[in-house]
Structure 1
Amino acid sequence: MTEGFSRRARAPEGADDRLPPVRFAYDRHTWKEIAHLLVNLPVALVGFVYVVVALFTGFWLAVTVVGFPLLAAGLVGSRLLGRMERARARRLLGVRVDEPSRLPGRAAAGGFLPWLWMALKDPVAWRGALYGFVRLPWGILTFVTTLTSLFVLWPVLPFIARGLANADRAMVRGLLSPSDELERRIAELESDRGVVVDTANADLRRIERDLHDGAQARLVNLAMGLGLAKEKLLEDPDSAAEMVAEAHGEVKLALQELRDLARGIHPAVLTDRGLDAALSAVASRCTVPVKVTVDLESRPAAAIEGIAYFTVSELLQNISKHSGARNAVVEVWRTENRLLIQVEDDGRGGARLDGGSGMRGLAERLGAVDGLFVVDSPQGGPTVVTAELPWRDRSGATGATGATTAKGAKGARG
């Protein structure tokens, strides 16, 4: 299975900050560090003046109507200063830290007052202000030390620059990175919320379109046909009987379309009998022979069960339309607090998340509920798609967070 099975894979902490060994020779990394240290003073001076003027003005005017909005605007500017400093550290020091979650705009926050309150209590902005306030003495120290060492301590300047730059790196990580994993998780959930809303809107539009173009059109024709049959019932009973027979056929077709639509929303067999029976029913409609194995001692929550069902259903449709496979296998099982799904076929392979076959949509849907989605499909096949969902009991209890790695999941199943 694909290495690094994770929805938003990140490099290990500090992986992007590996530094070359310091030598007496001046390489480009040393010159970047020296440039960063020399620029510290003007940048720190600008940040210090901004923090003092903007924030302290807001504090002094806090007793007036305009005080708090000025303070909030100053804190928004502190966020911008922090972003600029992260960019400078990334460029010159090689420090890569995650960007904090964005502060929602006024419309997203629900109006001016909620936005004002969020801006005033924004921890990212306050840490940026603290960074700008304490940087002035440090900027003076690094500037003077580096400038003096250029003419006095030239042979050992690379070591001095590395030591001062490491202190800068620590300061950037400590004050300008997200405070903890919670902030990063909030940013992920904000993104997932948008995915859920977009997916729900797309589903509603699909249902509306199917009703309008399918069953509704047939029912309109049925009403018109029955109206004509009623008019001819006395004067031409034979023609009226033919019209009624046609209307009866239309009723059957409309009912079948409504059943198919209901199956696409949430099939009754899934509600009544669970994943084993529902997936077997889906597999029976696939154009490729499918072996289904569901190894679950209990049923997950209805929402998780529904996502698992539609994930397998979409994958089997892709197999029918695009794979050219002769056989397929669906396996569903539980590992600790995760529900794992694996769908494999012996087709031509080449499936990708950006291949236009709905894979990206499936990945986004699973990601919105803290799930994972991996496609392993080399050219020539076989294709193995592994999906992972958090296990939630039907009683409402939630399994422990954190994903089980699906590396080697196929081998674990034997």
Structure 2
Amino acid sequence: MTAPSSAAGRFGGIGRTDGPDRTDGADRTDGADRPRPLGPAYDPYTWKEIAHLLLNLPVAVFGFVYAVTALATGGALTLTVIGLPLLALALLGARQLGKLERARARKLLGMRVEEPTPLPLARSGGPVPRLWMALKDPVGWRTLLYDAVRLPWGILTFCTVLVSLFVLWPVLPYLARGLTNVDRAMVRGLLSPSDELERRIAELETDRGVVVDTAAADLRRIERDLHDGAQARLVNLAMGLGLAKEKLLEDPDAAAAMVDEAHGEVKLALQELRDLARGIHPAVLTDRGLDAALSSVASRCTVPVKVTADLPARPAEAIEGIAYFTVSELLQNVSKHSGARSASVDVWRSADRLLIQVQDDGRGGARLDGGSGMRGLAERLGAVDGLFVVDSPDGGPTVVTAELPWRDRKA
């Protein structure tokens, strides 16, 4: 089989945003914002710098009032029910102010400054984890600090440029360049995303919460299945055998019928326990690997499924298990919702990634936000640095591509 291309290549850049390109005439080397050498002329670039310095005062006044009000109100009310939520909202608002300031720096100062990673509030569980994530947001706090210290600087730059327009006209371009270089340093220091480590810490904290929630949900499901299924049957079996024991001497025929009924209950209980064990970790996956396990899942699908696996070795147990349950849930969706006549499953290794592609010729229309199933799969793969991409136009076909990091199985 010729393996399809890696989803990372086909869908490269998922979740990433590159800084906007400069639209003015400033020179650039290696993506850094390096202004061209300053000349004495008032060119468009110099006028942009002057405009930025004149706007510093109104922008700084608004930012200072916002920061002081947010900190004073939120701090004063922290002992009440509404204090922390108000402070969290203020930090989210500060993020938006920072976004406007970065846009102003790109437009007027010619800077290339990326946007910080958005807060993953939608994946943070209930209101308390969301509140805590907003309160410890370093981007919001740095923006409030930026707004708090900008007022004196805004007054200084506004007055300096205003006086220079009428008194120091010949040297104003040089003054503008020096003052805006300080602005650039402030933006880089307080409004630019910090290093990639901060991004990864936020992502890993969120992913850890997803893993914990998923594990808790799985434990609740297992407990419910045991309580409502095998446990209830075993209770009925014990009661039936007790009645059969009482009737053994006085009515052997009735006792034999009860024993026969109990035998049927034992068979059903065993089948339910096998199904439950398969849902936790199927024996065929442990014994024979992903190829055989996926063929077993495909045989239970209501539509014909072609399985192709091109794996030179077995991945780590955790990765193998995630791949198995991902395909299992996707094939359940094919059986229940797709209306497909056929489907296929392709699994292969590409460099250090395990690739999975599930296709069907059904009605399409599958969406990540269409239900908890697809979204749960995306979150589960994201927790281990995986990718999950759904391509399902109305009318079909549906192609779901998943990527997992390849980790070698321990000897």
Structures share a fold, TM > 0.5? Answer: yes
User: Shift in Å at residue 144 of structure 1?
Assistant: 2.4
The counterpart of 2:404, out of the listed 377, 386, 389, is 389
Distance 1:330 1:88, change over 3 A: closer
Distance 2:118 2:182 in 1: 21
Provide the residue aligned with 1:5 in structure 2.
Answer: 11
Provide the residue aligned with 2:116 in structure 1.
Answer: 98
Distance 1:395 1:229, change over 3 A: same
1:87-137: per-residue Cα shift (whole Å, max 9, x none)? 5514744665316989xxxx99xxxxxxxxxx9xx9989988996898687
Q: Which residue identity does 1:97 align to in structure 2?
A: E
Provide the residue aligned with 1:38 in structure 2.
Answer: 57
| Unpaired stretches in structure 1, ≥5 consecutive residues | 50-78, 109-118, 397-414
Provide the residue aligned with 1:232 in structure 2.
Answer: 247
Q: Stretches of 4+ moved more than 6 A in 1?
A: 1-4, 20-25, 29-32, 43-47, 79-82, 122-134, 156-163
Distance 1:313 1:42 in 2: 57
SS at match of 1:297: coil
Count of aligned residue pairs for this structure pair: 348
1:46-70: per-residue Cα shift (whole Å, max 9, x none)? 99x9xxxxxxxxxxxxxxxxxxxxx
Task: Report 1:59-98 matches (<5 A).
Answer: 86-87=98-99, 89-90=101-102, 92-93=104-105, 97-98=115-116
Distance 1:44 1:300, change over 3 A: same
2:282 is the counterpart of 1:267: yes
2:227 is the counterpart of 1:212: yes
Distance 1:185 1:194 in 2: 14
1:201-228: per-residue Cα shift (whole Å, max 9, x none)? 1111111111111111111111111111
Q: Is the 8 A contact 2:60 2:147 kept in 1?
A: no
Task: Report 1:2-401 matches (<5 A).
Answer: 5=11, 9-12=15-18, 14-15=19-20, 18=22, 33=52, 36-39=55-58, 86-87=98-99, 89-90=101-102, 92-93=104-105, 97-98=115-116, 138-139=153-154, 141-148=156-163, 168-356=183-371, 358-395=373-410
Distance 1:38 1:152, change over 3 A: farther
Q: Is the 8 A contact 1:304 1:391 kept in 2?
A: yes
Q: Over the residues paired in the alignment, what is the CA RMSD in angstroms?
A: 4.3
Distance 2:173 2:306 in 1: 65
Distance 2:63 2:119 in 1: 24
Q: Is the 8 A contact 2:114 2:192 kept in 1?
A: no
Q: Which residue identity does 1:5 align to in structure 2?
A: F
1:199-256: per-residue Cα shift (whole Å, max 9, x none)? 1111111111111111111111111111111111111000000000000000000000
SS at match of 1:358: helix
Distance 1:280 1:21, change over 3 A: same
Determine what percentage of the aligned residue pairs are the same residue. Answer: 74
Distance 1:88 1:44 in 2: 11
Distance 1:265 1:255 in 2: 15
User: Shift in Å at residue 11 of structure 1?
Assistant: 1.3
Q: Which residue identity does 1:86 align to in structure 2?
A: G
SS at match of 1:329: strand
Distance 2:409 2:401 in 1: 23
Distance 1:247 1:260 in 2: 20
User: Shift in Å at residue 80 of structure 1?
Assistant: 10
Distance 1:320 1:162, change over 3 A: farther
Distance 1:100 1:299, change over 3 A: same
Q: Is the 8 A contact 1:214 1:257 kept in 2?
A: yes
| Unpaired stretches in structure 2, ≥5 consecutive residues | 27-41, 69-90, 107-112, 121-127, 130-135
Distance 1:356 1:332 in 2: 25
1:231-285: per-residue Cα shift (whole Å, max 9, x none)? 1111100000000000000000000000000000000000000000000000000
User: Shift in Å at residue 354 of structure 1?
Assistant: 1.0
Distance 1:196 1:137 in 2: 47
Q: Is the 8 A contact 1:101 1:184 kept in 2?
A: no
SS at match of 1:330: strand
SS at match of 1:316: helix
User: Shift in Å at residue 43 of structure 1?
Assistant: 7.9
User: Shift in Å at residue 395 of structure 1?
Assistant: 1.8
TM-score by length of 2: 0.71
Q: Which residue identity does 2:218 align to in structure 1?
A: D
TM-score by length of 1: 0.70
Q: Is the 8 A contact 1:286 1:316 kept in 2?
A: yes
1:338-384: per-residue Cα shift (whole Å, max 9, x none)? 00000111111111101126111100000001000000111111111
Q: Is the 8 A contact 1:24 1:158 kept in 2?
A: no
Distance 1:252 1:219, change over 3 A: same
Q: Is the 8 A contact 1:6 1:372 kept in 2?
A: no
